[in-house]
Amino acid sequence: MQEESPIVIVRAILHILDNSVQIPIISTKEIELEEDIIKFLENHISKVINSGQVKEGIFENTDNTIYKLCEKIASNSEEFTSITAELATNLFEIMTKNPDISPGDVVFCVFQQDNSSYMAIMKFNYKSSYIHYVMSTDEGNVNKLIKQTTTLPSYAQKLDECIIISLSDYHIKLLEKQYEINGDKDFYLSKLFMKCTFDLSNDEKFKILTKVTKKLNKKYFDEDFKKTAKLHEALADSMGECDEIQISNIAAEVFQGNHEIQNEYIDEIKKEGLKENIVNLQPSNVVNKKLKTHRLKTDSGIEINLPSGYYNNNDVVEFINNPDGTISILIKNITKIHNK
């Protein structure tokens, strides 16, 4: 796995967007970039970049307001404070019209990676937490617990919402969350704020491939576990060579010799949202975890987590079709069993 290039924080500013009050609290000065603050921002940016839930997109035209403001930042960094104030105000207006959207602090951050500049818009949605409070009385100290409703996500937690925009080619990475918008659950960052269309995330693409495989597997093969295992093996092989997979090749691997089912598989994949035959599917934590392990569950309730590739390795595990129609699973060459 290629080592990630370092992230260099150039400047950052925080604006408070609490839609329980009437106006945003706009900062007039940038954040002082102390070492712990730099590490905090770098860590969150890195997590977003490597998230399998990130969607990718581009500005469809240069008349887009966000595009124009990013262009200004790229050409004149001295306008950073005023431009981020305008962006924060635009975002706050959307939030006040849609009260289901979580309040939070938004950090606008310019950073560099691989000699390219980017702007991150990180929305730190408020979390509830508790702190202690010491109250002095005539009888001595009384220690209390107080609920804090505006705590930010910690260093270890993940952001729910973030936008990263390249200040060179204006390619966009988006991590977003659905809220109730005009009576329906929808994405407000892409549709109302960015006003751009985005590709499906890696995790969403993988879910579509798995969903359709299971659907046709149940329809034609009585949920043969080997079909799903074959999908994982085919995806792992494809992703081992490059970040692109070819849907027609995956269909041929999983449903070997049955062209009608292969064509139905491709059609179902398109209906679910993967329109192109060649799909970019970069590895993510969710995808890697799914590909490494194949989870089996019997009708008697027994669950087995089987490393992918083992299902057809008779030296490790053997699936025996019994004369009465049942299946026995023989696990071989075990030297030790651990409680987990």
Give tens-digit pLDDT for 101-155: 999 999 999 999 999 999 999 999 988 677 777 888 887 887 877 776 666 667 6
* 189 and 304 share one domain: no
- Are 44 and 170 members of one domain? yes
257 and 174: one domain? Answer: no
Per the structure, the count of domains in the chain is 2
> Residue 162 in 3-state DSSP?
strand
Burial 226-243 (b: 16+ CB within 10 A, else e): ebbbbbbbbbbebbeeee
Distance of CA 64 to the CA centre of its chain: 25
Is the same domain home to 33 and 161? yes
Lowest-confidence range among 32-46, 147-161, 201-215, 262-276?
147-161
Residue 65 CA neighbour count, 13 Å, CB half: 12
- Given a cut of 90, is residue 80 above it in pLDDT? yes
Instruction: State the residue range of the domain holding 244.
Output: 203-331
Helix axis angle for 247-254 and 225-241, nearest 10°, is 140
Q: Do 294 and 316 form a contact (C-beta atoms < 8 A)?
A: no
Q: Tell me: do 32 and 172 sit in the same domain.
A: yes
Mention every residue, 6+ apart, whose C-beta is less than 8 A from residue 242: none
**Residues with Cβ < 8 Å from 156, sequence gap 6 or more?**
none
Please indicate, yes or no, if residue 92 is contained in any of the structural domains: yes
pLDDT in tens, 18-41: 988 889 999 999 999 999 999 999
In a domain, 179, yes or no: yes
Please indicate whether residue 277 or residue 151 has the higher confidence score (pLDDT).
277
The whole model's pTM is what? 0.77
Report pLDDT for 120: 97
127-137 and 161-166 strand pairing:
unpaired
Q: Where are the beta strands (DSSP E) in 203-307?
A: 244-246, 278-280, 293-297, 303-307
- For the ranges 6-15, 238-247, 317-326, the maximum mean pLDDT occurs at 6-15
The pLDDT of 250-268, averaged and rounded, is: 88
